[in-house]
Chains A and B, each alone.
Chain A
Amino acid sequence: MGVNATSYLEPTGTDEVVDAVTRTRGRAGTLEIRGAGSVLDRLPAGEAPVLSTARLTGIVDHAPADLTVTVRAGTRLDELRERLAEHGQECPIEPIGEHGATVGGRLATALAGPRQLGAGRVRDWLLRVRFVTGAGTPATAGGVTVKDVTGFDLCRLLTGSWGTLGVITEATLKLRPIPAHRAWYASDTPRHDVASQLYRPAAVVSTTERTHVLFEDHPDDAGAQAAAADLSPAEPPALPASARAVVDPARLAALRADLAELDLTVAIHDQLGLCHLDGQADALAAARAAAERHGGALLVLDPSAGLPAFGRGHAPTALAGRVSAALDPDDVLAPWRWQR
């Protein structure tokens, strides 16, 4: 979207973000916060002025001995990954798709990557966040230690807030050593039960042809688990990218059956209850209806489909509305989110 937006702001520091938000608020305007656009470019185009984090970049502090890194929000995940790898460390938040993504954008959208199964959710890797609320107030929550219950946990609140509530300007992330060994395996046919036979695989993804498993273990353990489950070394799976359906894992089998009736390419994270989909608009719309029938939601990440990105399954609760109003009282930050 940035291209046809009416204006494009590129603040270089917190003060400028405060200024941009405050001015926008003053004239009853709105802002769409943009990182690298890896997700935003896949939402229906909007006309709102853009606040880009493109100049809020750089690693502020990497403390290898503390397993933490502080980074400005516009920093690319790829760049961060390279820098951390020099010290044998990683933050297992993976970019989604091939567009490249920024740390801030990745936190704000909090989409699950395949390794969420083993490494936990995006939200669990954030220790401290600096942000500017929709009211123009700069704030910090959390701290640089790995455990911290000082005050309310707004790190979780900002993660997955999708550019509402506040502009994330800086994040301190928890790190871990890069697993010494990492290997994908696969079965000959799709085996949706394979995940439950393995001890904590890093990722499990089933396509219509086979089930792929990622081990991040000692090679002997990975080999033994693979042999016991009859898996052979394989390439990582390709993930369709037009849409993602999420349901409670207990409803996944039912959703899977419904999706099988539709003309879709599907890859499924078995234990997570997440399905990646490619297909035409009518098939995606039917998939959305199915996901919602099973109590879930479907996110469309393909503007050419002509469907709203978000569906009924994303509708905010009244309580969430009150929290939004508290931090962004004049609806400055993407107030349309979850509605189109």
Chain B
Amino acid sequence: MTGGVGPLATAGRELTGPETSLLARLEGILGGDGLRTGHLGRATYRRDASFLNADPLAVALPRTVEQTAQVLRACRDHGIPFTPRAAGTGLAGGATPTGEAGVRPVVVSVARMDRLRQLDVPNRRAWVEPGLVNARLGKAAATHGLRFAPDPASQIAATLGGNVATNAGGIHVLTYGVMSQHVLAVELMDADGVVHVLDGARAEQAGLDLRGVTVGGEGTLGIVVGACLRLLPSPPAVGTLLAGFPSLDAAAAAVGALVVSDRLPDAVELMDARAVSLVEGYAQAGYPQDAAAVLLLEYEGLPAGVDAGVVTADHLAREHGATSVVRADGPDQRARIWKGRKAVAGAIAKRAPDFYLQDVVVPRSRLGEMLDAVVAIGERERLEILTVVHAGDGNLHPFVLFDRREEGMIDRVFAAGHDIVATALSLDGTVTGEHGVGIEKRDFLGEVFDADDLAVQRAVRDAIEPSGLANPDKVLPTTVGCGEARMVPEGAWV
């Protein structure tokens, strides 16, 4: 859906002089096919998978690093900000093109730069372009007996560049760690179009770990145009368990026991009864329908260790009241068990016109309290909330199911979201475990950090990205500690 350049194409708003001249220059760089300026072409890029949306000036879809550099230099020359974007599965409004009053950023999508540049099997690493979809790397690695550990539930759509930019998590974080642990090097393009290679494959960094800061930079530090990612050997043995519990508390207590057992499981996922019944109709995962909560557990590695882990987990689960414990009898059943977990969002989309997905973390020992609080919040706001949890990490994802056409609904949804975040904070947790701050959680940062902490963060951001043009307005609050944290920041629509 490509629109022509000019005032008519950006229906509803006159273009300023710099905007007109920028669009002409961008069209010269990208051609008609690589630039979207029309109303419809822009509409799909108003938001990511969150509710927050804003109108971009245009959408640039460069095919190469060189084109990306030219796009950024054009933006810089016209003083117009840009919003990096990949698959748009982000949930914090990070890719929502908000700008300061009246300024519309250009969305720069990296989706067309999606090659696996090099799969270095002997050294177990891959050089990728940012638009490569996470699951595609996994597939390519698997043919060599290797795997890419970070596995966000969105991995069939989300890109590796997006995963780097958000420091994504996933299901196997407990022992494998978050994205950052799997990023060896980042190629970061600054607002002048210059590429900085940050860190590399060496076992000991030379100088400062700027790679580490860039991972999770949410597009505010520049554009990730390439990355070197660590691959691991695929585990020779895997043990997957599905356990049903009579209450959320019992399941949470079992998680607590598993986390302090002598062998950490590689994955511990919890789903509440609503989630269990919803996915069953959609994915036929074989979850126990009478359970108030289920745990999905996985042990990976060598056979004796995996078996020992499974035996311990079976025992601990039953000791904490599990009414059923099933071990997957092979790869098919294992795939089915995980399919249920990964199908939650899909199943919800079939069931309710809208969903709002939260992301909070608490120390693992507070998981039971947090789960109870979510139930209470749902009851108070008269909302249907189902919760899935990366339980081994204390990372909860309550989904609020709703229909935004209902009068007053959005307000209740956001009130619930606000309360969930506030509760996590009161339990020594934090406002986001893996989805990021973006714009949605930005105004909560003043409740997590004090003015000095934020000033230091700001100083680092400005040092790395002095132009201020890269995804302005995101991550760091503009005025510290001023007023109540809002779920819908200024400049964004829901």
Interface residues of A (CB under 8 A from B): 63-68, 88, 110-112, 116, 120-121, 123-124, 133, 137-141, 143-157, 159-161, 164-165, 176-178, 180, 196, 199-200, 217-221, 224-225, 244, 246-250, 269, 272-274, 296-297, 299, 313-317, 319-320, 322-327, 338
Complex interface residues of chain B between 388 and 425 (CB less than 8 A to chain A): 390, 393-395
* Nearest CB of B to A121, in Å: 8
A313 to B431, CA, bound (A): 39
| A200-B210 in contact (CB<8A) | no
A83 to B178, CA, bound (A): 27
Which among A159, A269, A326 is the interface contact of B209 at CB below 8 angstroms? A159
- A67: nearest chain-B partner, CB-CB: B259
| A144-B428 in contact (CB<8A) | yes
CB of B62 within 8 Å of the partner chain: no
* Nearest CB of B to A60, in Å: 14
A221 to B283, CA, bound (A): 36
- Mask, B244-271, CB within 8 Å of A = 1, is 0000000000001001111110000000
Chain B residues within an 8 Å CB radius of A317: 196, 207, 210
CB of B324 within 8 Å of the partner chain: no
* Nearest CB of A to B482, in Å: 17
Chain A residues within an 8 Å CB radius of B364: 65-67, 146
Which among A145, A199, A249, A299 is the interface contact of B430 at CB below 8 angstroms? A145
The answer to whether residues A65 and B181 also contact, given A151-B457, A153-B215 and a CB cut-off of 8 A, is no
CB of B437 within 8 Å of the partner chain: yes
Complex interface residues of chain B between 99 and 113 (CB less than 8 A to chain A): none
A224 to B303, CA, bound (A): 10
List 27 A-B pairs, Cβ < 8 Å: A67-B259, A120-B177, A120-B181, A123-B209, A138-B452, A145-B429, A147-B361, A148-B430, A149-B166, A150-B430, A151-B453, A151-B475, A152-B217, A152-B457, A153-B167, A153-B216, A156-B212, A157-B212, A159-B209, A218-B308, A221-B302, A248-B123, A249-B201, A250-B120, A250-B201, A327-B459, A338-B207
| A160-B208 in contact (CB<8A) | yes
| B302-A124 in contact (CB<8A) | no
Chain A residues within an 8 Å CB radius of B394: 66, 145-147
CB of B462 within 8 Å of the partner chain: yes
Chain B residues within an 8 Å CB radius of A152: 213, 216-217, 457, 460-461, 475
| B235-A199 in contact (CB<8A) | yes
Complex interface residues of chain B between 432 and 491 (CB less than 8 A to chain A): 432-437, 441, 445, 448-450, 452-457, 459-464, 466, 475-476
* Nearest CB of A to B63, in Å: 26
Interface residues of B (CB under 8 A from A): 120, 122-123, 166-167, 169, 173-175, 177-178, 180-181, 196, 198, 200-213, 215-217, 232-233, 235-236, 256, 259-264, 301-305, 308, 361-365, 390, 393-395, 428-437, 441, 445, 448-450, 452-457, 459-464, 466, 475-476
* Nearest CB of A to B391, in Å: 12
| B212-A159 in contact (CB<8A) | yes
A322 to B198, CA, bound (A): 14
Chain A residues within an 8 Å CB radius of B432: 148-150
| B308-A147 in contact (CB<8A) | no
- B461: nearest chain-A partner, CB-CB: A152
The answer to whether residues A314 and B207 also contact, given A133-B456, A149-B432, A221-B305 and a CB cut-off of 8 A, is yes
Chain B residues within an 8 Å CB radius of A148: 361, 430, 432-433
Name the residue among A116, A123, A148, A200 with the largest chain B CB count within 10 angstroms.
A148
A246 to B436, CA, bound (A): 34
- A323: nearest chain-B partner, CB-CB: B463
Which among B301, B363, B476 is the interface contact of A217 at CB below 8 angstroms? B301
Chain A residues within an 8 Å CB radius of B177: 120, 124
Chain B residues within an 8 Å CB radius of A326: 459-460, 462-463
Chain B residues within an 8 Å CB radius of A320: 207-208, 210
| A146-B393 in contact (CB<8A) | yes
* Nearest CB of B to A252, in Å: 9
A140 to B209, CA, bound (A): 17
The answer to whether residues A65 and B259 also contact, given A120-B177, A147-B393 and a CB cut-off of 8 A, is yes
* Nearest CB of A to B257, in Å: 9
| A137-B456 in contact (CB<8A) | yes
A46 to B432, CA, bound (A): 44
A271 to B153, CA, bound (A): 31
Which among B215, B301, B437, B462 is the interface contact of A150 at CB below 8 angstroms? B437
Which among A66, A116, A221 is the interface contact of B304 at CB below 8 angstroms? A221
* Nearest CB of A to B328, in Å: 20
Which among B202, B259, B449, B462 is the interface contact of A297 at CB below 8 angstroms? B202
Chain B residues within an 8 Å CB radius of A316: 207-208
The answer to whether residues A199 and B236 also contact, given A137-B455, A141-B453, A145-B363 and a CB cut-off of 8 A, is yes
A140 to B455, CA, bound (A): 11
The answer to whether residues A247 and B431 also contact, given A218-B302, A218-B304, A317-B207 and a CB cut-off of 8 A, is no
- A126: nearest chain-B partner, CB-CB: B212
A180 to B312, CA, bound (A): 13
